[in-house]
Structure 1
Amino acid sequence: MEIIIDRKEFQKISLEFRRLSSRLLRTNLDDGMGNLKRLLNFIENTPLIFDFILENNIEKYNIKDEISKRKLSCGYNIPINKSEEIAYVYQLLKYCTENCRDYSSICMGYSSSRMLQDHIDSFNNRVVNAFISHIEVYLKERLIDMGETGKLNVIVNGGQVAIANDNSTVNATQNNNYNQTENLNSLIEELINLINSLDLNSEEKEETKEIITAAMEEVESDKPKKSIIKYAIEKIEYVGKLGVGITGLFTTSQKIIEILSNVIK
């Protein structure tokens, strides 16, 4: 089976990966396992990313023994080699989702604190963040590979995934939803202009605009991804509250939130 990924779809995948990664990296004690499962589920159901994991997941580790034999004061003996590090951390996280009662079970030993949350934060910073960074670099490389065509050809065959530059003649199917609210586009354009007036750094402004634009594209599709729209709603609620004194920001935000909420009902 061949899947053609264009630049817009690629950006949506990258955005969703960043959202779920951030959610895990900032997770609290109670939500750790749920946020870990969300991230791994997305990775394993996204051929573009899972190809990278399969490509590196060659060396097999006895994670059960690794956990039981580790020295709590030293953490895990994570390989230095890039491919082996990716395999080790992926297998560790996967083992946790299938065998551990809670996320903190694999995080202990990464802090001298008595607070479990401190161990989770340190584990995320030292172990999970490196794993995520490898994937982010890979995605940036694939974005470069798109070149002028702006497309990637993903081949899925029996659980194996291969990615090549899209020079094939396979036609991608574009689905559009023409039943969306007519004024949503103008409202989003208005909101994006208002965001420029907020006291936010340029990176946060651009990320917020990107998320809102991605949500708009989802509304226009036949099968909107609710996770992206929900994330956009969270961001819009956030910027709406920041806009005290900026005429129209709160009102425009609420109108967009109402429309997006109706889409995902």
Structure 2
Amino acid sequence: MKILIGKKEFKKINADFRRVSSDLLNSQDIDEALRLLKIFLNYIDNQPLIKDFILKNEVVTYDMKTVINQRPYMEIFQLPLDKSEEISYIYQLLKYVAQNNRDYRGLCDGYSDTYSSSVLKFNSMVTKRLYTSIADYLGGIAIDMEYDQNSNSGIKIEGNVGQLNFAQTGGVVNAVQDNNSEMDLMRLSQELVRLLKESNLPEEEKEEAIDLVETATDQIESQKPKRGILKATSEKLSYINTIAGDGTSLAEHAKKFMDILGIG
């Protein structure tokens, strides 16, 4: 899968998600709430950026049939304290309800005295927790791509949903992943550092380049890359290539490193 999402398209994704979420969170009708829940989940499942977030936080698989059936009468759901577990729990709970057409009335028992207020209260205490987590995630991407400043910013997605890593280059956030990308990046980084240490470059140039390569690698693996670091790494390796000369092992590894990070 290869997708390029520009600033305008990202803004639309954000707005559409907030709209379908608002419809569900403000619903007071039992039957309508179930219909809106299906629309909400359908949007999540069919939007790669959001679905990737859900899959990355799916740290536990819950038996939701048992959770629902064994919940004491009129007792609210006990959400996990861990953030990823909470996201996973709520998504799986809502998904089970939607897929099995479970009565929203039973789901909301214990949250208030009337059906309409129970729907609102359940969505406020449970569904909204998932909504907020996703909204915060999208907000973080917006910041990384300089959403309010760079009109040319965008998101490039390559790979499988649930396996995307994000790296920012210029005004573009790249999401690049394949089954061996993390291992390839680490191996390439280690080999590049070795070649830099063995090179005849001035010690100051070596140390600066090694520090940048290691920092860039750490940031990409943590999925929190900084534009300044990636840009500085690219510029330093480009400069080293001119010194090392085309065709040398150092130059080739430096080029591969820039390519795999998307900063060449």
Task: Settle same-fold status: TM greater than 0.5.
Answer: yes
Equivalent runs, 1:112-191 vs 2, <5 Å: 113=113, 115-147=114-146, 148=150, 150-157=153-160, 159-165=161-167, 167=169
Partner of 2:56: 55
Partner of 2:95: 94
Q: How many angstroms apart in 2 are the aligned matches of 1:88 and 1:125?
A: 16
Letter in 1 for 2:140: E
Q: How many angstroms apart in 1 are the aligned matches of 2:2 and 2:46?
A: 15
How far the C-alpha of 1:160 sits from its partner, in A, is 3.4
Letter in 2 for 1:151: G
Determine if contact 1:3/1:153 at 8 Å carries over to the other structure. Answer: yes
Determine if contact 1:146/1:165 at 8 Å carries over to the other structure. Answer: no
Partner of 1:68: 69
Structure number, greater radius of gyration: 2
Equivalent runs, 1:17-28 vs 2, <5 Å: 17-27=17-27, 28=29
Instruction: Give secondary structure in 1 for the equivalent of 2:164.
Output: strand
Partner of 2:2: 2
CA RMSD of aligned residues (A): 1.9
Determine if contact 1:153/1:163 at 8 Å carries over to the other structure. Answer: no
Instruction: Give secondary structure in 2 for the equivalent of 1:154.
Output: strand
How far the C-alpha of 1:161 sits from its partner, in A, is 4.3
List runs of 5+ in structure 2 lacking aligned partners.
Answer: 173-264
Percent same amino acid at aligned positions? 40
The question of 1:15 aligning with 2:29 is answered no
Determine if contact 1:51/1:161 at 8 Å carries over to the other structure. Answer: yes
Q: How many angstroms apart in 1 are the aligned matches of 2:66 and 2:106?
A: 14
Letter in 2 for 1:75: I
Instruction: Give secondary structure in 1 for the equivalent of 2:155.
Output: strand
Aligned pairs, number: 166
Instruction: Give secondary structure in 1 for the equivalent of 2:54.
Output: helix
Q: How many angstroms apart in 2 are the aligned matches of 1:30 and 1:73?
A: 20
Q: How many angstroms apart in 2 are the aligned matches of 1:19 and 1:74?
A: 30
